[in-house]
Chain A
Amino acid sequence: MSLPPVILQVFAGIYGLLTLASLVCYGISLKQRDVTELKQRIVSWWVMVSVILACFALGEGFTIAAIGVLSYLAFKEFVSIIPTRRTDHRPIFWAYIAIPIQFYWIYIGWYGMFIIFIPLYMMLFIPMRMVLIGNTKQFTVAASTINWLLLLTVFSLGHMAFLVQLPVNDSALPGLGLVLFLLLLTQFNDVAQFTFGKLFGKNKVLATVSPKKTIEGLLGGILATTLLAVLLAPLLTPLSLTYSICAGLLISLFGFIGDVSISAVKRDLGIKDAGSMIPGHGGVLDRVDSLIFTAPLFFHFIRYLHY
């Protein structure tokens, strides 16, 4: 299938930004500074953006499946770093089985089932499976942990896939425009907060969780992301000016919350990165942490306003 021209134009813009970033990185390297990690990070961005473009080009079903794979990887990474009980081998197996089922509901567009399957039925089913095994030691911790992981990595991220099922009423743009809007703003916000923090950061915010986060970075991110939201909303979404400002604020603020929430988990476990799948970024979880919060919030925001 061919993508609408406006989506291709936004991708052209992203590639433009990446080219600029690569040139800046090259410029810094000329000053004999070590840019290995920055370079790795930028190369990974080129790869990730290209993978997203390829998924979009292959169609909506493929994009939903790809987000399913992303959820699988994030769940696997999370369940691998968090302490689990040996007796939870089979309950965790069922948690994995819930992933294709959840994405099947999304694929057929069954909203009611999509919205209750994990938070209600899996939440009941997993403790039931655990109690049949009979290990009561740390039962509460184990049941809560697995359900929480499913909620964060599969249910939350799945909202991004359900955006595909929301056709924009008054234009020919498919739900892919909404996915692109959410992804681009969330990731841009991460980069913007990081960059503003590096350039102007002085006053720490949430120092016990993430010592590198600063108020200057947070505010710079919110400003830049909201500005980008206002510029992109008319192209990719049906949002009005006021609501696109709200969307920008929502994504930038809760992107930050998602980021620090996963930082808190890693701090609790005493690890720096959740994995090493994406060079320069860490694991999948390190990359999608902010999306865990922004995806459901943006989804419901736009759904209640326009559908």
Chain B
Amino acid sequence: MKNWLKVLFFALLVRPIVFFIIGLNVHHKKNLPAEGSAILAANHNSHLDTLVLMSLFPLKQLYRLRPVAAADYFMKNRWVRWFSLRVLNIIPLHRDGSIPKESLLSECHQALTDGDILILFPEGSRGKPEQLGEFKKGIFHLANAHPTAKVIPVFTYGLGKSLPKGEKLLVPFFSDVVIGSPLDQHNDSQTFMTALNQQMQQLAKQVNTGRILD
């Protein structure tokens, strides 16, 4: 039942919006993980990011996708909460400090153990439209604890123009999604974060989309 709703929601609503109304240029689609657990690390500019990243995968893979999302936003009332948990199947992340630091990511660890694909925005929050923010280190701890899970950097551009933060009206702009190759294993967080940031900068160079004037 849970999965049935998800498939319907994506097939009838999200995919037509993502692929026709917005229009997506997907670069290096072959880099998407076909099997096994994985962490997609993407930059975050728009509410569309999660839906777009989930649309890249075939419908039959949907059940494995677990977006990691801020609890204060995605669980704010019962309707949003029902939608987030039942349809999007998110892993809520409590940013307010109500949960001890050690167990903050426990559900993420469980998902990776189960062979799921985490969708993670290491910037922590939607930044200024189309600007890459600083990545937080939580992703390193996840990657380090699950050496078999591939870490795949994904750069999106243009979605923050289609639906920027604080805006409710969707205005279509062609958007770019550049999928990087899996990151190498690193045992210390500094090297890992540097490698991730460098890959993101590389991917950012491959987009076509226009600048912002002001």
Contacts and interface: CB of A to CB of B under 8 A. Distances in A.
Nearest to A141: B213
B19 to A, nearest CB: 11
A158 B171 CA distance: 22
Nearest to A135: B214
Contact of B171 (A81, A96, A276, A283): A96
A79 B214 CA distance: 16
A84 interface: yes
A81 B161 CA distance: 12
A87 to B, nearest CB: 7
B169 A90 contact: yes
B214 A86 contact: yes
A269 interface: yes
Interface in B110-158: 129, 158
B164 interface: yes
B164 A83 contact: no
Nearest to A85: B213
B167 A89 contact: yes
A265 to B, nearest CB: 11
A196 B31 CA distance: 40
Interface in A92-112: 92-93, 96
Given A76-B173, A96-B171, A275-B25, A86 B208 contact: no
Contact-size category for B? 20 to 34
B174 interface: yes
Given A81-B209, A276-B25, A277-B23, A76 B214 contact: no
Interface in A238-294: 269, 271, 273-277, 283
B78 interface: no
Most chain B beta-carbon neighbours within 10 Å: one of A86, A87, A137, A271: A86
A271 B214 contact: no
A76 B24 CA distance: 11
Nearest to A269: B210
Contacts of B164: 86, 89
B172 interface: yes
Given A86-B164, A89-B164, A277-B23, A76 B212 contact: no
Contact of A79 (B25, B167, B169, B173): B173
A83 B212 contact: yes
A93 B212 contact: no
5 contacts: A76-B173, A83-B210, A87-B214, A135-B214, A275-B208
Interface of A: 73, 76-77, 79-87, 89-90, 92-93, 96, 135, 137-138, 141-142, 269, 271, 273-277, 283
* For the complex of A and B, 9 pairs with smallest distance between CB atoms: A80-B174, A83-B211, A85-B213, A80-B173, A93-B171, A81-B210, A276-B25, A83-B213, A82-B210
